[in-house]
Amino acid sequence: MEPSLITIPLREYQQLVASVQEISKLRSELDYLQEKFAIDVAEDRQRITALEYQEPEPRNLDRGQVLKSLIITNSGKIARKEARKLMRLSESQFSQLLTASKDFIEISPSRIDHRIKILSLK
């Protein structure tokens, strides 16, 4: 069967062409928005992952090694309060660490101010 030609008024033809151009424009805009949406979703996932990730807490053994290193780098002695602040530990966590590290850490009062406790290696 051969294609047959149909005739339509010029006004309808111009409306048809305008509609096709509008559809083409809308398709390209839709493609752009879909791509932008995919990029936004990927960036949001990265942000969420970064917020959810927390560094694992070191165990007392690791913290003991850090405390030992702090004492060594400070000429073999460091104030208890200063060491706790440098390690960013709460009072209870630091107390537990000192209890676990009693084999190699000695706690003594300062010669100048007896309220200050000095940590040193045994």
Q: Quick check: 100 pLDDT over 60?
A: yes
- Give mean pLDDT, residues 85-103: 90
The pair of three-digit structure tokens given for residue 58, joined into one six-digit string: 């070191």
pTM surpassing 0.75? no
Handedness of CA 78, 82, 83, 84 (dihedral sign): positive
**Is the pLDDT assigned to residue 56 strictly greater than 60?**
no
Helical packing angle, 60-73 and 80-87, nearest 10°: 120
From residue 47, how far is each of 21, 36, 54 by CA, in Å? 39, 16, 13
Report the C-alpha gap between 112 and 109 in whole angstroms.
9
Domain limits of the chain? 9-54, 60-121
pLDDT one-digit tens code per residue, 57-82: 666 568 888 899 999 999 899 999 99
Mean pLDDT of 98-104: 87
Q: Note the pLDDT of residue 60.
A: 58
With respect to CATH, is domain 60-121 assigned 1.10.10.10?
Answer: yes
Tokens for 121, please give them.
Answer: 């290696």
